Each structure stands twice: as structure tokens, then as C-alpha cells.
Amino acid sequence: MTTENAPCGIEAGLMATEEGRTFLRNYRSRVTHDAVARLQGTLDALRLESGIATGAGGGAGASGESELVVLFRKIIDKINEARSELQSIASMARERETGDINAVEDELAAIISDTERATNEIMDSADAIENFLRGDAGGELPEELRREILRKCADITISCSFQDITGQRVRKIVEVIQHIDQHISLIEHNLGTPVRDPEGSEIDASRRAQAEAGLLKGPGLPGSAVDQSAIDEMFSDPPAESS
């Protein structure tokens, strides 16, 4: 005997298996297709009844189409638009399945490790020059020149902090990609495909909360962040000497 809740039970039963989910997807697609076809049929009928020729036309005034026909045309256009967007999302999801998004993340991670390696090599060289200058051989140079080269070596080391900033900017990009990835997963979930478990640890939750509060934005663009002198004022530090 069928009951009011029977359709839900049938759908839940179908969602439990891959074949069932495929059936539901195909069924939804077929129903949508049929609905569009019916709308098109209705539109054609309206055209015939109102004596309007088929084919592309202008607005209500220009072609003589009634307001209702124009409205139906717009609805059909929107449905077709939505269908092509869904196809494009499905295509992105398929790309993700083949690992394209993971590959992009790997490429970005490689930027971090490559710049890290290069930065370490630069710092190794600066250290080697410093050690040379602090050793016996350094004594052969005029003192002022030796000090100046040491200062420049320190500057080189400090400048290597660009790698940290670069890394953080790349991570921001990775996070945006992951955010898009999660949205695709959500769409897949709504279409009946399992989505990964979004639960995380307490630490993850705290990090997420800080991100949502806008406290984990990473390096800002020039002009968008407070500078060191403004921070110093907030800590009532002695003013920075010009360097």
C-alpha cells in the first residue's frame, strides 16, 4: 500500500546505491528535458494561436509577439542558460576527478619549495661571504670596506624574507582554489554524489573561526595594511630610527 511518504522512501532507497543515483540523475535530466520540450510546445502553440511566425524576432512591439509569449521565451532562455551552467559545473567536477585541481595545488606548492630552496642558497652564500670576512682573509681588506660588505650581507639575508611573503600569497591562492573545490563538492552532493566529511579538529575550528573573522588574510596589498610605525604607536614603543 502506498503512503504519503512512500516517494521519499523510494528516493532514499535509490540514493543508497550508485546505480540508483545514476538513475535519479538521468531521470531528473529527462524530466527537465521534457519540461523544456513542453514549454517549447506551448510557446509554438501560442504562436500559432496568435498567428505569429516562428523564428527569431524582436521585442513584443517589433515582432507583434504578445507579452506572454515574450515571457515564455525569456523563461526558456533562462532554463537553457541554467542547463549549460550545470553542464559546465559537471565538466569542472569531472576535471577535478582526473586530478587537475590537485595538480594546480601541487604546482603552487612547488613555487613555495623552489623559492625556499633558492632563498636558502642565497642565504648560504651570504653566510659564506660573512664567514670569509670575519676570518683571517677578511683582515686583508680595508676595515670600512669590510664593514660595508658585512652590512650588505645582512641586508641580503633580511631581503630573503620575500620568500615567506611569496609563500603566504601562494597559500592564499591555494585556499581560494580549495574554497571553489568545496563548492563543487557541495553541488555534487546536491546532485546525489557523496561529499567528503567537512568535520575537523578543535584546532581546525579555531583556525576557521579566525579566517572567518578576517584575521588570516595573509600579506595585504600595498596601502591596505598598517605599517610598522603605526603598530609601534599602538605599543607605545620609542619611535623607530630612520634606517
Partner 1 sequence: MSKIKDKKVLVVDDFQTMRRILCKQLVDLGFTRDNLYEAADGSEALEIIKDHDFDLIISDWNMQPMTGHDLLVKVRQEPRTAKIPFVMVTAEVSPDNVFKAKESGVDNYIAKPFDAQTVRRKVETVFGALE
As a dihedral over the C-alpha atoms of residue 99, residue 101, residue 102, residue 107, rounded to 10 degrees, the angle is: 120
At 154, the amino acid letter reads: A
Helix (H, G, I), strand (E, B) or coil at 86: helix
| Binding flag, residue 241, partner 1 (CB under 8 A) | yes
Residue 129 found at the interface with partner 1 (CB under 8 A): no
- The reply on whether position 135 binds partner 1 by CB under 8 A is no
Residue 100 Cβ vs partner 1, minimum distance, rounded to whole Å: 24
Residues between 154 and 173 that touch partner 1 (CB under 8 A): 154, 157-158, 160-165, 167-168
By beta-carbon proximity to partner 1, the closer residue of 1 and 215 is 215
174/108 Cα distance (integer angstroms): 7
234 contacts partner 1 (rule: CB under 8 A): yes
Q: Which stretch binds partner 1 (CB under 8 A): 85-93, 96-104, 152-160, 176-184?
A: 152-160
Single out the residue of 39, 90, 129, 216 in contact with partner 1 (rule: CB under 8 A): 216
- For partner 1, which is the closer residue by CB, 190 or 243? 243
Which residue in 168, 185, 68 sits closest to 115, CA to CA?
A: 168
Taking CB under 8 A as the binding criterion, the range among 24-32, 35-43, 191-199, 235-243 that sits at the site for partner 1 is 235-243
77: helix, coil or strand? helix
- Rule CB under 8 A: is residue 69 a binding residue for partner 1? no
d(C-alpha 33, C-alpha 39), whole Å: 10
- Number of residues engaging partner 1 in binding (CB under 8 A): 42
Alpha-carbon gap, residue 177 to 50, rounded angstroms: 51
CA distances in angstroms from 101 to 104, 175, 234, listed in the order given? 5, 12, 42
Verify binding: residue 77, partner 1, rule CB under 8 A.
no
Query: Is residue 238 a contact point for partner 1 (CB under 8 A)?
Result: yes
Q: Considering beta carbons, is residue 164 or 188 the nearer one to partner 1?
A: 164
Residue window 179-208: x/- pattern of binding to partner 1, with contact defined by CB under 8 A: ----------------------x-xx-xx-
Burial of 126 by CB count in 10 Å (0-12 exposed, 13-18 middle, 19+ buried)?
A: buried
Q: Determine the Cα–Cα distance for residues 28 and 209; give it in Å rounded to an integer.
A: 38
Cβ atoms 167, 116 nearer than 8 A: yes
* Sole residue written with cell 501560442: 46
**Helix and strand tally (H, E) in the chain?**
9, 0
Task: Check residue 212 for interaction with partner 1 (CB under 8 A).
Answer: no
Residues forming contacts to partner 1 in the complex (CB under 8 A) are: 116, 119-120, 123, 127, 154, 157-158, 160-165, 167-168, 201, 203-204, 206-207, 210, 213-220, 225-228, 231, 234-235, 237-238, 240-241, 243
